[in-house]
Amino acid sequence: MSSPEARVDSLDGLRSLVAEATIVGSAEARWRAVAAVDPALVERLIHGGPAVVAPDGQSRPVLLAAGTGASPGVGTGIVCLTAEAVLDAVDRDEDALLVCDETSPADEVGMRMAAGILTARGGVASHAAVVARGWGIPAVVGVVGMVVGDDHVVLGGVRVDAGDVVSVDGGSGEVLVGAVELVRAAEAGEVPELDVLLGWADEVRGERIGVQANADRGEDAARARSFGAEGIGLCRTEHLFLGGRLPLVRAFLLAGSPDDENEALAALGAAQREDLTGVLVAMAPLPVTVRLLDAPLHEFLGDDAPPEWREHNPMLGIRGIRLAVLREGLYRMQVRALLGAMDDAAAAGSHAHTAIMVPLVSTAAELALVRGWVLDEIEEWDPTEPPAVGTMIETPRAALLAADMAAHADFFSFGTNDLTQMVFGLSRDDVEQRMMGPYLERGLLPADPFAHLDPGAVAPLVAAATRAGRMARPDLEVGVCGEHGGDPESIRLLVEAGVDSVSCSPFRVPVARLAVAQALIASDG
């Protein structure tokens, strides 16, 4: 059954559509209703947006500047130029916007508390964008001409002092003067027709393609579950090493002796076990895929990096499996922490289903080596239900040699953010600020490949790697955990590629549930 051309894009239209399909009562009517709704409507209902009229009676708020809308919704607050300033504002019961050149893991405590995030650099796959989407915080990134000073920021040639009120629209990418009246996002249960429609979408999907979430903490897992996630497709363990735990990672990386390294690993393991227990309990009995550490070293070390750890291109440097090869104890510690968290979850009455994902693999030999370490730890711990062990396909080489990788993997999960970056040779953190606009205007690219999966090379590479992996291992499970997993246009290509599941930020799960169902309806003809 093909989807209709017209799309329902209003709440009144949604209510009429659901009522009509309910009266008809047939599966065909339900499927037609699912196919008819614009996924953008679901996003608006979840995130809210700016009112048509500003509080001062103007026809629209005054525009200061524009960047890339990286996380939908509207955030209003006083300008805070550091994460610490955000925390101080929150202590005063003031809404705060974190405004900076770019964010790093050290800023995440302040980011979580901010009403919105605004950065001069970055794109839809940058640190600020990915973290903000995961937490449902509005964000605008890559604002051209934005200059951050010690006590002010320049936006669109206008000086805005720290403490002034500014609004960001993470959907349009606009930065607006003052406070903006909001159309409030719908609370759970306030739009029962949406819940009905998404239930019908789940009926269409059945067990064909799952929708999971990228979540790193217990509260994020619980939120993802409330949005209908069927598990966690990506738990990024490096995000559990931030804030007050960042010194523990630095102590490990900068350890001067084996004893110092072992002491740091023990402290990291205890913290990791505690955090993972919270994630497993929140999601049990649904599955949780834990990715072993995969962060560029500069995100942990910053300016403290000694000469031997400094890199000219950290995103292509010692990260992921490469760091593990140099420091074997790291991944072994993380596996033990996960196995311990499974025991702790069981003691709390929660039956956890887990999988372990090895990141940034380029050779089958790398994967075989690290998989051996993981299996050694699992065998020594001897859990009742051992985790599956798979790999994240992020490098073109791993995708091109998928059959070799499948010999050492129980599952694949495509990290399409990094895969896109490496296929194009473009920095996902820098390209959108200056280059993307002119390229799109001149028709040199059909769309931003970090927002919508590239149909020319990246999507075919995912499809070919999926086929090759399954030829080598017919029972191979294939998922996608890049941010493309929450984009309707990308989802259509991923369904065509034959993936078993998509995983995205918790707040994008409802959109993904609908978009996957619509792609399946279209493919069924």
- Taking residues 363-389, what's their average pLDDT? 95
- Taking residues 473-486, what's their average pLDDT? 94
Domain coordinates in residue numbering, the chain: 11-49, 51-183, 231-391
pLDDT in tens, 212-241: 999 998 999 999 999 999 999 999 998 777
Phi, psi of 158 (to 5 degrees): -105, 135
pLDDT at 349 > cutoff 60: yes
- Taking residues 191-218, what's their average pLDDT? 94
Residue 472: burial class (beta carbons within 10 Å; 0-12, 13-18, 19+): middle
Q: Please, are residues 119 and 143 in contact by the beta-carbon 8 Å criterion?
A: yes
Q: What is the pLDDT of residue 185?
A: 53
| Same fold for the pair 51-183 and 231-391 | no
pLDDT at 91 > cutoff 90: yes
pLDDT at 408 > cutoff 80: yes
pLDDT at 501 > cutoff 60: yes
What is the pTM (predicted TM-score) of this model?
0.88
Q: Please, are residues 484 and 453 in contact by the beta-carbon 8 Å criterion?
A: yes
CB atoms within 10 A of CB 506: 26
pLDDT at 186 > cutoff 60: no
pLDDT at 252 > cutoff 90: no
Q: Please, are residues 403 and 469 in contact by the beta-carbon 8 Å criterion?
A: yes
If you classify domain 51-183 with CATH, what class do you get? alpha beta
270: three-class secondary structure by DSSP:
helix
pLDDT at 245 > cutoff 90: no
Q: What is the pLDDT of residue 4?
A: 46
Q: What is the pLDDT of residue 240?
A: 77
CATH number for region 231-391: 3.20.20.60
Which of the two residues, 361 and 248, has the higher pLDDT score?
Answer: 361
CA dihedral 215, 419, 461, 448 (to 10 degrees): 90
Active site residue 127: yes
pLDDT in tens, 101-129: 988 877 888 999 999 999 998 888 788 88
Strand order through the sheet with 68-71: 63-66, 174-177, 165-169, 74-80, 96-100, 116-119, 139-141, 68-71
Percent of the chain with pLDDT over 90: 66
Active site residue 481: yes
Highest mean pLDDT among 100-114, 309-323, 476-490: 476-490
Q: What is the pLDDT of residue 73?
A: 84
Amino acid at position 325, single letter:
V
Q: Which member of 239, 481, 484, 504 is catalytic?
A: 481
pLDDT at 133 > cutoff 90: no
Least confident piece of the model among 292-306, 412-426, 498-512: 292-306
Q: Which member of 127, 298, 452, 484 is catalytic?
A: 127
pLDDT at 453 > cutoff 80: yes
pLDDT at 260 > cutoff 80: yes
**Cα–Cα distance between 519 and 26 in angstroms, integer?**
20
pLDDT at 47 > cutoff 80: no
Q: Please, are residues 280 and 217 in contact by the beta-carbon 8 Å criterion?
A: no
Q: For residue 442, name the pLDDT band (cuts at 50, 70, 90).
A: very high
Residue 501: burial class (beta carbons within 10 Å; 0-12, 13-18, 19+): buried
pLDDT at 55 > cutoff 80: no
Q: What is the pLDDT of residue 78?
A: 95
- Taking residues 411-433, what's their average pLDDT? 89
